[in-house]
Structures are given as structure tokens and as C-alpha cells.
Amino acid sequence: MKIQRALLSVSDKTGLESFARQLSELGIELLATGGTLRLLRQAGITVREVSEHTGFPEMMDGRVKTLHPKIHGGLLALRDEPTHRAAMEQHAIAPIDLVAVNLYPFERTVAREGCERAEAIENIDIGGPAMVRSAAKNHRFVTVVTDPLDYGRVLDELQKSGGATSESLRRELAQKAYALTARYDAAISRWLFEEDRKGASEWSFPSAFTLAGSLARGLRYGENSHQKAALYLTSESGPSAAKAEVVGEGKELSYNNFVDLDSALALCLEFDEPFVCVLKHNNPCGAAAAARIAEALAGAWAGDPLSAFGSVLGFTRPVDQASAEFLVSENRFVEAILAPSFEPDALERLKTGAKWGKNVRLLACGPLGTNARAAASLELKPLRGGFLLQERDLAVGGSGKLEVVTKAKPTPEQLAALVFANKVCKHVKSNAIVLATGAPSGDRSSRSMTVLGVGAGQMSRVDSVKLAVAKAGAGAQGSVLASDAFFPFPDGVENAIAAGVSAILQPGGSLRDKEVIAACDARQVPMVFTGVRHFRH
């Protein structure tokens, strides 16, 4: 289709001037609106105002300017349909063969601190999506360009084909256009839903929920080498492994790296103090909080040094030189690290201090902590033929609602260690058991807490206990235990107490709670109920 007339109306003006100038040099008449019109005229490019083309002025602060039959008739008319051609002639509708449109920056606007609802509403584009959809529907005749990165491809075809574009390119651009409007509408719908959720004592899930993302890049492969995979980005704000800055020159991030890094990030968001977690196969195998981040790293690694080899790490503080020295020494090896940032000396040491330094993936995601968690955050799990939607588990492990149910009472040190273990436990695959210890080092704020053993993903809770005890080894003596769900039988706590566990935390709620409590009372071991379960399947 040879292009005679193009309509340009863009918020993102990247590459616009060069694109428009080359279209004009090809003899294509240009129409434009608002800021696009001003920019092109200032550049000395011949362009007609849309209101001149339609004979109808812009009005209502620009809300109405392209919603006109001469625009949409020019886009939607089938060029090979006699009745359409007759209607065009009767109503003086000229064909529009190319549309270059990108939309008001709604997602960027609502992500800005302090954005008011009225401002967000004004950044909901109406005319832009309408033109994009009209042009994309009629892609047999009309070329629709929604991404400045495609300007070069369109110009290349125009120059090689005497001012025409191919049907294959128009089809591809139409698919991309509908993906844009789908994502745009999904972002607006989700924002409206989450705005109404804020501060609401009662709310319900929407009758329809759409998740849309934009392609960031293809990945080398998926979970396994025979599976294809790609990374898409959504409009969700806050710290993100998917959107973090990659520093250094490590290997390309893999599908499994992203899965593990996202889990590391979720665990880091439980803590405001210096904290490090070590993840392997989407489970924390080590974690520690301490007065300094390098101490936390050493404690986290010591929790399971064997599993830590080839792991993914999460830090709540910038990676410092002491942490880098620890990692490059003694044949330690990590696949990826996510942290708020990396000190320059630490970054250089990680890149040059070990054989794996040139391959390690280093991600800076900005400040972390409990305040960075989105209160309205939702998570989605795909199913064949549908998906599940739920609130994220942001409960702080029953903090403030702890109930001592045994005759023996936990010491303040034991209680602090139990809460720490519970925060880690909620990020372990069910059935989940975590053994930890708290070693006082001065005041309470500088207490060191360390995970000693993890039992994850077992089909019975007692097996998870046995696995955690085996991982902890001699460290089980005097440790504390957190369980993500209730003990259905006393055997789990009996095995733990026999291994030396000194205090236990669990949600409670089993039909056999009295038997489980009695098993603790028989050995004077304190048990705390939280009333909050933390399954993670």
C-alpha cells in the first residue's frame, strides 16, 4: 500500500523529527496535533493541523480533537469496497494511510510520588487508543506505528518499495498496537482497582482482571534448556528484580536466576536491619541478620555452606568491600546478587577477585525494607484455562499477636529468634521448618540472628523437621524452630526437642494442639502460637 497521508500524534517524541522529515521528503502529507504539531513546525517541516483537516476545532482542553469521522473514516475505510469509497467521496473524507501514535504516559504519571487522582484521570488517553485501534483493525490498508523503535523499519520499507509498506510489516505492527492498548487499559483498570482498595475496610476482587506486560528481552531458555522463555515488565511499582539495574558485565540473566532473585527480594523485604539471604532452587538455605552486612553474609553462608555454592544472594544493605572479600575467598561461588547498590571497591573486587567474577550477575534494585512493600500488591498464579489471584502474604509472622501456650515461657532472646525464624519460614516451600539461633551482641538492635537448618517441600511435616535438624547438625542444640503451619501430630515437635530445639513457634489450629502442647510441656520447652499460617506452594 502506497502511503499518501500520515497522521502523527505522539507523547514520546523520540526520533519524531527525523521520522517526519523523511516521510515529508517521500511526498507524504503530514497531519499532526498539539505538541507534535508545534515540534514539527519549529523544525521547519510542512504539516497540517488536524483541526484544519477536519474543519472542527480542538475543544475541552484537548480532550476532543481526533474523535471525528474525517479521522476515523479515513482510517477505517476499505479501499477496495465501492460503498466505502462512495461514502468517502460524499463526505469529503481523505484516506489516512499511516498513523504514528503513542499514548499519554499514564503508567509513568501514577508511579510518580504525590500523583493526585485528577491528574491520573487526565492522563488517560482516549483519542490515541481510538486511532490506534482503528488503524490496526484496518491494517490491510493502514500502517500503524506505536513504537519509535519501529520508525527505521517503516522508513526502510518506504524507501525500498516506492513509498509502500508490506502486508507482513503491517500485520506485525497491528499486533503490537493491540498489545499496547491492551496493556494501557489493563494498567488503568488495575490502578482504579488498587486506588479503591487503599484504606478500604472491605473490598472484593474485580469481575475481570487483566495482566499485561511489555517485552523486555528474550532469555537464552526457560526453566530447562529445551524451553523457550522471555522477560516481560508490568506497571507494578516498587523494588523489582525484573527492573533492577544490572551492574558489571556478568552473564545474561536466566529464567531461573529471575525466579530465585525475585524470591530473595521478597525475603529481604521482611527486614529493615542488615540482612542477607542465600537462595537455592527458590528456597532460602541460609539467612542472617547482624549489626553489619558483612557479618550477616558470613552468618547466612554458614547456615548451609554446601548448598550455598552456586547460590543467589539478597542483601538489604549495599554490598561493601568486606562482603566482597568474603565471597571471593575460600572457593566460594555465587550465580547472582541482588542488593540496594554496590560500593565501587566491592564491585571491582567481585568482578576481578575470583574466576567467576566475569560471569556473576549483579543487580542494584534501590533501597529495601518493610516500607518498600506495596500494601495493595497482588500475585497471580497461572492455571491451565485460568489463573488464581490473591493478596501477597505481607503478614509479619504474627508479630504482636503471639500467644504462649505452654507452661514454660520463652526468654526475650528466644522470642526474638522465633520471630526471625518465622519471617524466613514464610518464604520456604511448604511443608516448611526453619531452625535458627539468636546470639546477643550488645543491645537488642544489634542482635545477630542466623538460620541453622531448613526443611523444605516435604510431603510430611515430621520429615521437614528431620531434614532441618540434619542440616543444622550440632547447631540444633539450643536452637529455636518455626513452622509455617500447625503440627498435625506430636511427632514433629518430639523429633525437634530430641535434637535439642529449645523453643518452638507455629500457627496452631490442629485438632491435636493439646497433644502437641503436652509434648512440649513434658520437656519444659516453650511453644508460641501466632494464629497466622504461611503456606507457600
pLDDT score for 439: 58
Fold of 395-529: Cytidine Deaminase; domain 2 (3.40.140)
Provide the pLDDT confidence category of residue 440 given band limits of 50, 70 and 90. Answer: very low
Residue 444 has pLDDT above 50, yes or no: no
Provide the pLDDT confidence category of residue 344 given band limits of 50, 70 and 90. Answer: very high
Instruction: Render the burial of 84-97: b for 16+ CB within 10 Å, e for the rest.
Output: beeebeeeebebbb
**Which set of grid coordinates corresponds to residue 380?**
497471580
Q: Return contacts of 409-414, CB within 8 angstroms, 24+ apart.
A: 409/526, 410/480, 410/503, 410/526, 410/528, 412/444, 413/438, 413/440, 413/447, 414/438, 414/480, 414/502, 414/503, 414/526
Residue 19 has pLDDT above 90, yes or no: yes
| Arithmetic mean of pLDDT, 4-20 | 92
Q: Do domains 239-372 and 395-529 have the same CATH topology?
A: yes
Peptide bond into 431 cis (omega under 30): yes
pLDDT score for 201: 72
pLDDT score for 208: 85
Model's pTM, two decimal places? Answer: 0.83
Distance CA(184)–CA(186), nearest Å, equals 5
Provide the pLDDT confidence category of residue 355 given band limits of 50, 70 and 90. Answer: confident
Residue 249 has pLDDT above 90, yes or no: no
Give, in order, the Cα–Cα distances in Å from 498 to each of 466, 475, 476.
Answer: 11, 13, 10
Lowest mean pLDDT, pick from 50-64, 73-87, 227-241, 433-447? 433-447
Distance CA(68)–CA(33), nearest Å, equals 13
pLDDT score for 317: 96
pLDDT score for 417: 94
Q: Which residue has the higher pLDDT, 309 or 1?
A: 309
Cβ proximity of 48 and 31 under 8 Å: yes
Domain ranges of the chain: 5-193, 239-372, 395-529
Domain 5-193 listed as CATH 3.40.50.1380: yes
- Residue 16 CA to chain centroid, in angstroms? 31
Superfamily of chain region 239-372: AICAR transformylase, duplication domain (3.40.140.20)
> HSE (CB half, 13 Å, CA atoms) of 112?
12
Provide the pLDDT confidence category of residue 375 given band limits of 50, 70 and 90. Answer: low
Provide the pLDDT confidence category of residue 228 given band limits of 50, 70 and 90. Answer: very high
Q: Which residues are catalytic?
A: 137, 281
Distance CA(327)–CA(351), nearest Å, equals 11
Question: What integer best gives the mean pLDDT of the chain?
Answer: 89
| Arithmetic mean of pLDDT, 395-420 | 86
